[in-house]
Every structure is written in C-alpha cells, then in structure tokens.
A and B are shown apart, each in its own frame.
Chain A
Amino acid sequence: MRIIASPAVVLIVMAAGAAAGGLGALLGIGGGVFLVPFLNLVVGLPFLSAAGISLMTVLATSSAVSARSSGRQLINLRLGMVLGVATVTGAFAGSLTVGMLADRQLQRLFAIVTAGIALLMLTRLDRRNVILDPTVDPGALGGRYHEQESGGEVTYRIRRLPLGLGVSFVAGVLSILLGIGGGILKVPALNALCGVPMRAAAATSAFMIGVTALAGALKYYVRGDIRPELAAAAVLGVLAGSRAGFWIGDRARAKGLKALMALVLGGVALIYFFK
C-alpha cells in the first residue's frame, strides 16, 4: 500500500489551496493557475500530479461559485451551454494527449499562456461592455442582470460568437493539459472579445469550467496521477480560501481586479520562463 504524505506537506498544500482559492474567487477563475506552479515547483510533485490535483480544486471552486451566483442572474446558462459544447470537445481532445508531453514542455506552455493572458488583460483595463438602457433587446444569447456597483439593471449583447467558440475549444484543451479551469482564458475572452461584462463573464465561465474540469479530473483520476490525501487538503484549502475571496470580491472594483489578475499572471509566467 502506498505511504501517504507527511502531515507537514498536507498542511502546506492546504495553505496553498487557501491562497489559490482566495485569489481565484476574487478573479472569477478557479485558482488552478496559481496552484499548479506551487505544487509543481515548491512541493515538487510531477506536473501531471499537480495538474490532476488542481483540477479537483477547480471542480470545487466552480461548484461553489455557481451555487453562490445562482440567484443573481449572473450566469448566462444558454451562452454557457453553447460555449460548453466547444470547451468540452476541446477537453476531450486534450485528454487524449495527457501523458504524451514532458514536464518541461508543459511548463513552457503554461508560461506562454499566462503571459499572453496578462497582456490581454492589461490592454483592456478601461473597457466596459454594459448597455445601461434596460429596454435594449439582449438577443438570444445576451443577458441582463442587476449590478451592485452602480445599483442599476445592466444589459449586454453577445458579439463574435464564433471567436468565443474557438477560444472555448482551446481553453478546453489547455485546461486538461495544464490543470487549470480554463476560466483564465474564457473570462478575458468573453469580456474582451464577446462583449460580456466582467462579472457575468466570470459567473458563466465558472459554470462551464465545472464541465471542463470534470473531463480532466476524470482522466487524471482514472490514470492514478491524483494523490487523494493531497487532493483532499488542496480542495479543503481552496473551499476555505474562496469564501474569503468572495467576501473581498464584493467590495472590490472591476478595474482593480483586472489589474491584480494581470500582475499575478505576469509573475507566474516569469517564474516558469526563467526557472
């Protein structure tokens, strides 16, 4: 029978999960983008093991975020399902290649992806996608929700759907390979390219991520890459951390969130490039 990790390692993983979950909830992403490098570089797990554990925590955050935003009309279920087809197909494609790439290649890919997203976020800091006139027709896939910041009803339309589908497919592939939810790709893409406001993009993405991460988690779990005691520690940490993140998130401004996200991603990319 396999020996389980020492209690110290479990506590470190739990703390890392809490930090990743807090940041993740704050930014509307799963937090995997922070957890994978930590488990891989600091705890010293193989990349595949780190990715598998991270996907488990992404599942937990996705369900927690979705449960929380259920009553608030922030989740655009229809858009989520249409893009979900693309992302889950990408996830399936990605699952076929798990185990074929070396750790170093995966780390390089991770660095490129995070650097690219950080740049995209920085160039879009001042954009707002909302139409404040409540009589505007949002179209078949658009949406409407109550915005707490301005206290008004907000409407948005979907632009460039094919581009959104393409990004969702790529996000699905990368999600499985890198162990991230893919929200880190979908949130900026839905926001910057398809015209979905940041908060609705984050909530809709969290919903889709549950499905994407499920495909990946299944793959790694069946392969035996996931160490249950470390996954449990990470999941419990993430759940606790994401509660703190929600609390702060309700009090933070969208522009500040984007800048923070870009900063953290830039840091992650630098570490993997120059390791």
Chain B
Amino acid sequence: MKQSHELLGRLLTAGIALSATCLGVGLILAYIDRARGLPNGPHPLLDAGLIILMVTPFVRVLVSLSEEIRDHNWFFASMTLIVIAVLCVTLWTAMRAA
C-alpha cells in the first residue's frame, strides 16, 4: 500500500511539473510575440499545459483502479470504475454540446 502511495505521489509531482513548465514557457513565448508586434494569440504550449493539468488526476484514478484490481478489492475497484465512467460521460456530453 505504501509503495502505491509513493508511486501516486511521484506521478502527481511529475504531472504538475510538466504542466507548469508548459504554462510558464508558453506564457513567456506568447508575450515575446506580443512585444515584437507579431500577430498574437494564446500560445499552443498554454493549451498543452492545461491539458496535462487535466490528464494528471485522470491518470491517477486509473492507477488507483489497477491497484484495487491487483489487490482483488472488487468493491473499491467498481467504485473507481464508476468514477471513471461518469468522467467519460461528462467529457462526451461537453463535446457534443460544444
């Protein structure tokens, strides 16, 4: 159990670091373009950073699911699976409405 806690901790730290790097660099590049008078808009790295930010907790839930399955905790595995299913439905309805 302790091992899985450490794995989850490292995963979250890596996700945050990667996202923050994309957001920071994207922000700087966007304002360099702006200062040079280039046609500017949000830099693609900004979107990449935001998407990584959203993917991180999702991966975390997937890792939890695999842990519960490995440990044969079927009740908690099904709880986790329901959470994943509802998230997928939310994304699907959001994309359909947009």
**A interface residues (Cβ-Cβ under 8 A, vs B):** 1-4, 7, 10, 56, 59-60, 62-64, 66-68, 70-71, 73, 75, 77-78, 81-82, 84-85, 88-89, 91-92, 95-96, 210-211, 213-215, 217-219, 221-224, 226-229, 231-233, 235-236, 239
Establish whether residues A92 and B86, one from each chain, have CB atoms under 8 Å apart when the complex forms: yes
Which residues of chain B from 66 to 87 have a CB within 8 Å of any chain A CB? Answer: 76, 79-80, 82-83, 86-87
Given A92-B86, A228-B50, also A218-B5 (CB < 8 A)? no
A233 to B27, CA, bound (A): 8
How far is it, in angstroms, between the C-alpha of A60 and the C-alpha of B82 when the chains are bound? 23
Other CB < 8 Å A-B pairs besides A3-B40, A60-B20, A67-B13, 8 of them?
A63-B15, A66-B8, A70-B12, A85-B79, A232-B27, A235-B19, A236-B20, A239-B20
Partner of B56, one of A63, A92, A224: A63
Of the residues A60, A81, A223, contact of B53 by C-beta under 8 Å: A60
Task: Report how far A21 CA is from B13 CA in the complex, Å.
Answer: 17
B95 to chain A, nearest CB (A): 6
A42 to B17, CA, bound (A): 29
Are B50 and A232 interface neighbours, CB within 8 A? yes
- Residues of chain B within 8 A (CB-CB) of A68 are 9
A66, A89, A210: the one contacting B86 at CB < 8 Å is: A89
- In the complex the two chains form, is B53's CB within 8 Å of A235's CB? yes
Say yes or no: A59 contacts B56, CB within 8 Å. yes
The residue in A4, A62, A226 that gathers the most chain B C-beta atoms within 10 A of its C-beta is A4
Contact B6 A70 (CB under 8 A): yes
Q: How far is the CA of A96 from the CA of B24 in the complex (A)?
A: 32
Residues of A near B43 (CB, < 8 A) are 228-229
B46/A222 in contact, CB under 8 A: no
- Partner of A210 from the list B5, B60, B82 (CB cut-off 8 Å) is B60
Known: A89-B86, A223-B98. A235 touches B20 (CB 8 A): yes
